[in-house]
Amino acid sequence: MTEERTNCGNRELLAGEFTHICLKTADILQRLQDYQSNEVISKHGRCVDKQNVAKELRRILATEDFGCSSFDSGVKARLLSLVEFDPFLCNKPLFLSLHCDTFISLAEYLKTNETHCFQFIFKEVHMYQCNASFYGVRSVRDPVAIDEGIEQVFQFSTSDRASFLIQLQCRGYRDGQYLQCNRPLLYKLSNLPGSLQQDAEKAGTVVANLTGTTWLRDHPDGGLKEVVERIVPSCGGTVERGSCCFLINSWNTECEIRFRYKSDTITARAERNANTH
């Protein structure tokens, strides 16, 4: 009788530890999915029922966020084996150790995989000299890890062909440290005299220009900040500093732009139906 109780207790402990690993894995994958889709993650997370955790893991892993082009196939296969080989039902306690190794492998993969360490965040969109309306932006190609950075293609939708200014930043983690990149910075200058306006334009790249107002993007090697701080106070003009900015000219209701973050700098390149400045 004592031996039977011991075996029963061990089996209950085994089942409890296995369920705990599954719940922790589901929580991580849910948070990763929210992070990649720019969704706000709830303080308390989404509750996963213990009885349905295996079903939830299969559902998450079947989504596009965990496709072969954005998530390691080997790691995914190991995660699927987590729910396919229950050590309690199979009566194989050794499986629990293998599943623990799988969880550790997932954590290490997410820690080192640049695809999941960086994310583009779109801060503002301003329509520029056009009557079209802005409908939205979405990722159309999975992020691709490059040396010390990431690149990703986004589709912009408008009511008609349009020109618009887009401000964005890249944020993420490197070596366990949070980073946020806004470079090259944008400077919006207003009411500068002609000669000083020319000095500022020589130190940066003109993104857009309206009567009395100029949007300038800093050069990769910097220098625009010092010029702006020198000339603006002396002439009564105004300056606003913002995140990295590009002017997109689209000749269709949908266009695609490739953004790249590398060496602490964001760049943009038109992929379809547009050009960028």
pLDDT digit string, tens, across residues 191-238: 877 777 788 888 788 898 888 888 889 887 778 888 888 877 777 778
Average pLDDT over the chain, rounded to an integer: 79
Supply the pTM of this predicted model: 0.59
The pLDDT score that the predictor gives to residue 177 is 66
Q: Where are the alpha helices (DSSP H) in the chain?
A: 2-36, 53-61, 73-84, 87-90, 94-112, 194-203, 224-235
Q: What is the DSSP letter of 141?
A: S
User: Which residue range(s) make up the domain with 17?
Assistant: 2-112
C-alpha radius of gyration, the chain, whole number = 25
Q: Do residues 158 and 254 both lie within one domain?
A: yes
Residue 26 in tokens: 């589901």
Q: Do residues 104 and 145 both lie within one domain?
A: no
Q: What is the spatial distance between Cα 218 and Cα 185, in angstroms, rounded to a whole number?
A: 6
Range ranked top by mean pLDDT from 46-50, 106-110, 223-227, 246-250: 246-250
Q: Do residues 123 and 107 both lie within one domain?
A: no
Q: Do residues 177 and 246 both lie within one domain?
A: yes
Nearest residue to 144 via CA among 236, 197, 71, 38 = 71
pLDDT in tens, 134-179: 988 888 877 787 777 788 899 999 999 999 999 998 887 666 566 7
The pLDDT score that the predictor gives to residue 56 is 83
18-46 average pLDDT score:
66
Task: Say if residue 71's pLDDT is above 50.
Answer: yes
Q: Do residues 270 and 159 both lie within one domain?
A: yes
Q: Do residues 170 and 261 both lie within one domain?
A: yes
Task: Give the total number of structural domains in the chain.
Answer: 2
